[in-house]
A and B are shown apart, each in its own frame.
Chain A
Amino acid sequence: MHTGIHGELLKIEHLSFSYEKGQQVLNDVNFMAHDKESIGIIGANGIGKSTLMKLLVGLYLNYDGVLEVAGHQVNKKNLNHIREHIGYVFQDSEAQLFLSTIEDDVAFGPRNYGLSEEEVEKRVTEALEKVHILELRKKQTYKLSGGEKKLAAIATILAMEPDIIIMDEPSIALDPRNRKNLITILNEISSLKLITSHDLDFIMDTCERTVLLDEGRIIADGATKEILSDRELLEGHGLELPLRLQ
């Protein structure tokens, strides 16, 4: 679903959000993102990273401020439109893969958007090729290893050809080889990527730009190299330098 929009794919202005009254999770967040960027979203546990991501895909709609995805305001009316542009890879692959074989699961999204079976088939093949697991297409989901599950979950999103891909902690629970493999694959994907992670080495390998969140606000936004090498900044917000810089 490439729109050909080269301007801002994501536009966030003065975004504030709270689940219940008095418990502010996000506070006046301002942020823009463009096509083909790869952005790491970092911050300690429970500072609103996941909430921000879920707001982008319209899982919560009662926010204040401006939130635009591919030129559409995030609201109930635009939900279907927005979700064609944006894909979300969950932290827990089990939640993402709910059908019994990989190919059915990858085909789930395209079929829901009413594509023809030939087109669905093409999308499934391409998506599985991109994550290098085409040979597993007929395999039962529950028989996959953790690494394979993660790749399959990413393929389910790629098959929808979104302009924006959000990934929540993609490197969690992967062994070094799978982690490396995932880095290679992510770097081959050209859509706008937003990756949340505590694994700062992973962010260094996959993202050019990094945004540091704390207490619902953006603390820093800039080149990954600069932010991740700023020991004082990171430690001041509950993080540590990436291992390779220590």
Chain B
Amino acid sequence: MNRLHPLGKLLVCVFYIVTVASFHKYALSQLILMAVYPVFGFIVGELSLKEGLYRMRLILPLVVFVGIFNPFLDRNVLQYSFGIPITGGMVSMVTLMLKGFYSVLAAYILIATTSIDEICYALRLIHVPRVMVIVIMLIYRYFGLMGNEANRIATAYKLRAPSQNGIHYKAWGTLVGQWLLRSIDRAEMVYESMLLRGFKGDYVIPRRKVKPVSMIYPIAWILIFIVIRSGLINIF
């Protein structure tokens, strides 16, 4: 999967998420069917489901907050299964959770099999402005560095203020401000180093060849999504 063209993978991912999000809140069985893509991606791409689930933690609070009240608010019984009333709210809560779950997994499949540079290349192909793409690449490149710096600052601070839980308000300005100024100085050096290697405000990205399989892959998946969405195979 890593060798497929990044644009194809990006398209599949976006189309998948759009399809999932477009399902009606009661369309539970069709949504379950949509699991075919994450299942394929995780098994064939040999990804860790644990890692995928762990990524849920950031969006979970808002999704849960939004969905958790549905069973209380929408109490209309859709049907009885084994004598238990199934209400619209119960179903819509489950579909909401599934949607959240699927979209996070789909994005994970994309990022785990495609590097940021490749995604940036795909973005260039769909005419996202150059400035934007360069900025994204730079953010990605320097995020790790800055993260380490943040850790060092936090550690240095903690070692001298062992009883505090975070950074005291008196140190907010100087601590982060110093770091900010250093970052801007670094940005200037980065700029100089780019300039000295012929940078003229434009980043040249080499073209990639498109193999047939890279064409078939997105087309096949998008067809499958359309079929599931249209309810054509909802024969049950």
Q: Do chains A and B touch in the complex (CB under 8 A)?
A: yes
Which residues of chain A from 94 to 135 have a CB within 8 Å of any chain B CB? 94-101, 104, 107-109, 111-113, 117, 120
B117 contacts A98, C-beta separation under 8 Å: no
Sample 16 A-B pairs with CB under 8 A, ordered by A number. A57-B196, A59-B192, A88-B196, A90-B189, A94-B145, A95-B190, A95-B193, A98-B190, A99-B117, A101-B115, A104-B117, A109-B198, A112-B197, A117-B206, A141-B141, A142-B145
Determine whether B40 belongs to the interface, using a CB cutoff of 8 Å to chain A: no
Q: How large is the interface on A (under 10, 10 to 19, 20 to 34, 35 or more residues)?
A: 20 to 34
Chain B residue nearest to A142 (CB atoms) is: B144
B197 contacts A100, C-beta separation under 8 Å: no
Beta-carbon contacts of B194-208 to A below 8 Å, as 1s and 0s? 111111100110110
Determine whether B140 belongs to the interface, using a CB cutoff of 8 Å to chain A: yes
B116: chain A residues at CB < 8 Å are 100
Q: Is the interface of A mostly helix, strand, loop or mixed?
A: helix
Shortest distance from the beta carbon of A165 to any chain B beta carbon, whole Å: 11
A80 contacts B117, C-beta separation under 8 Å: no
Determine whether A160 belongs to the interface, using a CB cutoff of 8 Å to chain B: yes
Shortest distance from the beta carbon of A91 to any chain B beta carbon, whole Å: 9
B204: chain A residues at CB < 8 Å are 111-112
Determine whether B186 belongs to the interface, using a CB cutoff of 8 Å to chain A: yes
Report the bound CA distance from A87 to B192 in whole Å: 12
A112 contacts B193, C-beta separation under 8 Å: no
B206 contacts A120, C-beta separation under 8 Å: yes
Determine whether A92 belongs to the interface, using a CB cutoff of 8 Å to chain B: yes
Given contact pairs A112-B199, A142-B141, a sample of 9 additional A-B residue pairs in the complex whose CB atoms are under 8 Å apart? A59-B195, A86-B196, A87-B196, A90-B189, A95-B193, A98-B190, A100-B117, A100-B141, A157-B197
Determine whether A83 belongs to the interface, using a CB cutoff of 8 Å to chain B: yes
Beta-carbon contacts of B72-107 to A below 8 Å, as 1s and 0s? 000000000000000000000000000000000000
Chain B residue nearest to A88 (CB atoms) is: B196
A57: chain B residues at CB < 8 Å are 196
Shortest distance from the beta carbon of B137 to any chain A beta carbon, whole Å: 7
Determine whether B213 belongs to the interface, using a CB cutoff of 8 Å to chain A: no
Beta-carbon contacts of A143-167 to B below 8 Å, as 1s and 0s? 0000000000000110010000000
Known: A108-B197, A117-B206. A99 touches B141 (CB 8 A): yes
Known: A92-B189, A99-B117. A80 touches B144 (CB 8 A): no
B196: chain A residues at CB < 8 Å are 57, 59, 83, 86-88
Beta-carbon contacts of B3-28 to A below 8 Å, as 1s and 0s? 00000000000000000000000000
8 Å CB contact of B186 from A92, A100, A104, A111: A92
Q: From A57, A92, A109, A112, name the one whose CB has the most chain B CB atoms within 10 angstroms.
A: A112
Beta-carbon contacts of B107-147 to A below 8 Å, as 1s and 0s? 00000000111000000000000000000011011101100
Report the bound CA distance from A87 to B195 in whole Å: 11
